[in-house]
Structure 1
Amino acid sequence: MEITEIETAVLESPVDAASLPAQVGDRSLDISSVLVRIHTDEGITGLGESFYRSVEDNLFLERSIRSMARHLVGKDPRNVKKHWHELYLHVKRAGAYGALSALDEAMWDIKGKNAGQPLYELLGGECGDIHAYATFPAEKEIDELIEDAHWLADKGFVAMKVGAGFGVEEDRERIREIQTNTPDEFGLAIDANTSYDFPDALRVAKTASEYELEWFEEPIAHTDISGQADLNRKVTVPISGYQTHTPHYPAVDHLKANALEIYQPSLDYAGGVTGATRVADLVEAFGKQLIPHALGPAVNYAASLHVAAASRACERIEFAVLVDDIDDPGEYVGGPHIANQDDIRVEDGGEITPPEGPGLGIEIDEDVLAEYTVSTSS
């Protein structure tokens, strides 16, 4: 089998861009993405996807993917790990990890389709049930979040994650008010998006520990391994992160330092399926948790589900509730161009499973895809 052509399409977001909290730079986020299709001489096409949070950024990402793609044409896509390392030699100099991630996902998709098996089977099979926690890509007031917590708990979500980094006292108030007024057995996590220095992060973490939060995500700069490790020793709330790291190699230093209890690789950033599964294996060896950072578009999310299902270190995965004017918060609305979008959903009771079709299990609705396509190349 040989790769004959690599096609890309920049897609506009199917939902309105959300305004992120001011503490992460007063910017917006949408689910625009770059869809990759790797074509082969045997008629099998693999899908991959990555995204840089805006159409403008994704036009740049598309160029990076085209640059990396020239190294793959004429090669056998089933040799995924070999090609991953060949591409990594180029990517580590150019920083094009989003390109590597999308191409890697597409090659794994081909490998699964060629074998007639869903991807998680190729990764070793399912290891246990995966339950979803909810995240909101928008700033909300305390009373809104409390209302949302009851809505999500009724569906079966195990927890929700809310923004932090608004200032020590405001974060403490948010922790106290939300945690006190959420349903029993429903968890709360906070995400500061690296906005605190160590002293203020420690003050917030002590309150998060007192109220038994699920985790405190990216409290300080993600590069400050010793600071994360110090926090992890001083408080009982689990310190989490890794969404901004590429690929799996930095996990070794974090694990040696005992810097994080929970590792959250983003498949669109960490080197796709190959990078994320290597993080998962390292995390399992050190007895830590894997909870993939999975706010993103449909193909990438499906790949994240397969990695989660095949990891013994993983019991939860992120599920972005992109709109709150729907009856069912478990409905996935980030991929209208996916013909089998219902295969990506949180079931009543909170469980979520990867699609069962071969490879990633994703089918494209070409007519809808055309409606959302901003730019294409091949």
Structure 2
Amino acid sequence: MEITNVEPIRLERALDTITRRGGTSEQNITVTPVVVKVHTDEGITGLGESFVFDPTGEEAKFLEHGINALSKKLVGRDPREVTRLWHEMYVEVKRSGAYRALSAVDEALWDIKGKNAGQPVYELLGGQVNEIKAYATFPHFKESERLVEDAVWLSEKGFEAIKIVGASVGVKHDQERIETISEDLPEGMDLAIDVNTSYNTAEALAVAETASEHDLAWFEEPISHLDVQGMAELNERVSVPIAAYQTQTPHYPAIEHLRADALEIYQPTLDLVGGITSANRVATFVEAFDKQLVPHTFGPLINYAASLHVVAASPACSLIEFAVFDDEIDDPGEFIASPYVKNQEAVYVQDGGTISPPEGPGLGIELDEDKVEEYRV
């Protein structure tokens, strides 16, 4: 089998923008996808996907160019040699920084490998280990009392936890929100907070102490993702689990984090970390150090399906993020970010909060080609 063409497809966003604080500034973000099709001479086409937060779509052009650049190394090669091709692409990517392109292509290669074998990808990774539960990322800025009302709605669906976005006002505001929301959550539902690397160590410690007092499930990206020692100090001083790794590339930095005991929860992002190959290696490292894997999956459906396959095959993971983008939808378990996917219902949070990877060969995802053309830029 040989690769004949690598086709990137930039698509219009299907979601409205939301405002998110990251570092010292606020950003308007959305999910702007770029799908990649890897075509072969045997008629099997692999699908992969990455995305950018930029609502204008300008950053998606760079992602498209990155995929085109990598295609020069792929045409004429056997797509089933996923590991060999990953390492050859990585030689280029570690200099160019095109990790999103690498991630999308890697997912497409695994899709081909699964389709060729007639097996879902999670079976190729060793088979499903645990039942997977979903927690709800709820990226909506509301007063605490309104968030508690929404938490009741999400709890009725079966979500294990709700994750809210912090750092929009400051430390004291986050502490007050933690106190108010955690005390009024439905029984059995956990709370997590994500501040997107917005605090320095002293500020993060103050919030982490409050989070510890109220038994939060985790405190996500409290400080700069580059400050491994700072996260290790936080992790040592507080009981709330420190979570991060969603902005690291590829799997190699996980070793430094694990040796420093910097994190309790590792959150590789499949659209950035290096695809299925890298995320699966992070999962192996994390399991060896008795830590948890909970991938960051705020994004479109093909990429989300890839995350589900990695999660299903990891003994370090039994929980995955599910973004509830619409707070007025009848069923918060529906995936709504990718209308160009024909079988969008294959990724769905069941009543009771469980979710499974698609059962079809490869990633198990099919495109609606008419919708692809409708959303194509």
| TM-score with structure 1 setting the length | 0.98
How far is the alpha carbon of 1:230 from its aligned partner? 0.5
2: CA distance between counterparts of 1:136 and 1:69? 36
Match of 1:300 in 2: 303
- Contact 1:209 1:237 (8 Å CA) reproduced: yes
Runs of 4+ that moved beyond 4 A = none
2: CA distance between counterparts of 1:205 and 1:27? 24
- Contact 2:251 2:282 (8 Å CA) reproduced: yes
Q: Which has the larger displacement, 16-25 or 181-190?
A: 16-25
- Contact 1:24 1:193 (8 Å CA) reproduced: no
The aligned amino acid for 1:13 is R
The aligned amino acid for 1:77 is P
The aligned amino acid for 1:224 is D
1: CA distance between counterparts of 2:93 and 2:311? 25
How far is the alpha carbon of 1:24 from its aligned partner? 5.8
Match of 1:172 in 2: 175
Give per-residue Cα distances to partners, 1:157-187, cap 9 Å, x unaligned: 0001111123111010000000011101100
Alpha carbon RMSD of aligned pairs, Å?
0.9
1:142 to 144, 154, 164: 144
Which runs of 5 or more structure 1 residues have no equivalent in the other structure?
none
- Contact 1:248 1:276 (8 Å CA) reproduced: yes
2:158 to 156, 159, 168: 156
Match of 1:129 in 2: 131
2:334 to 325, 331, 339: 331
2:115 to 97, 113, 116: 113
The aligned amino acid for 1:71 is K
Match of 2:201 in 1: 198
Match of 2:88 in 1: 86
Q: Which has the larger displacement, 20-29 or 134-143?
A: 20-29
2: CA distance between counterparts of 1:349 and 1:59? 40
Match of 1:317 in 2: 320
**How do 1:20-35 residues align onto structure 2 when only pairs under 5 Å count?**
20-21=20-21, 25-35=25-35
Which runs of 5 or more structure 2 residues have no equivalent in the other structure?
none
The aligned amino acid for 2:103 is S
Match of 1:373 in 2: 376
| TM-score with structure 2 setting the length | 0.98
How far is the alpha carbon of 1:30 from its aligned partner? 1.2
The aligned amino acid for 2:114 is G
1: CA distance between counterparts of 2:22 and 2:250? 28
Match of 1:103 in 2: 105
The aligned amino acid for 1:310 is A
2: CA distance between counterparts of 1:120 and 1:183? 33
- Contact 1:337 1:368 (8 Å CA) reproduced: yes
How far is the alpha carbon of 1:22 from its aligned partner? 7.1
Pair 1:214–1:208, CA change in 2 (3 A): same
Give the 3-state SS of the residue equivalent to 1:27 in structure 2: strand
- Contact 1:20 1:138 (8 Å CA) reproduced: no
- Contact 2:23 2:197 (8 Å CA) reproduced: no
Is 1:14 the counterpart of 2:17? The answer is no
- Contact 1:21 1:138 (8 Å CA) reproduced: no
Match of 1:61 in 2: 63
Match of 1:217 in 2: 220
Q: Which has the larger displacement, 143-152 or 349-358?
A: 143-152
Is 1:286 the counterpart of 2:289? The answer is yes
1:73 to 75, 82, 90: 75
The aligned amino acid for 1:40 is T
Give per-residue Cα distances to partners, 1:274-307, cap 9 Å, x unaligned: 0000000000000000000000011000000100
Match of 2:244 in 1: 241
2: CA distance between counterparts of 1:149 and 1:258? 32
Pair 1:21–1:143, CA change in 2 (3 A): farther
Match of 1:208 in 2: 211
Give per-residue Cα distances to partners, 1:118-160, cap 9 Å, x unaligned: 0100000000101000112332221221111100000000001
How far is the alpha carbon of 1:56 from its aligned partner? 1.3
Pair 1:23–1:173, CA change in 2 (3 A): farther
1:359 to 356, 362, 365: 362
2: CA distance between counterparts of 1:369 and 1:162? 32
2: CA distance between counterparts of 1:108 and 1:144? 42
1: CA distance between counterparts of 2:141 and 2:248? 24
Give per-residue Cα distances to partners, 1:254-273, cap 9 Å, x unaligned: 00000000000000000000
Identity of aligned residues (%): 58
- Contact 1:21 1:139 (8 Å CA) reproduced: no
2: CA distance between counterparts of 1:348 and 1:180? 25
2: CA distance between counterparts of 1:285 and 1:138? 36
- Contact 1:270 1:276 (8 Å CA) reproduced: yes
Give per-residue Cα distances to partners, 1:187-218, cap 9 Å, x unaligned: 00001111111111111100000000000001
How far is the alpha carbon of 1:23 from its aligned partner? 6.1
Match of 2:185 in 1: 182
- Contact 2:21 2:198 (8 Å CA) reproduced: no
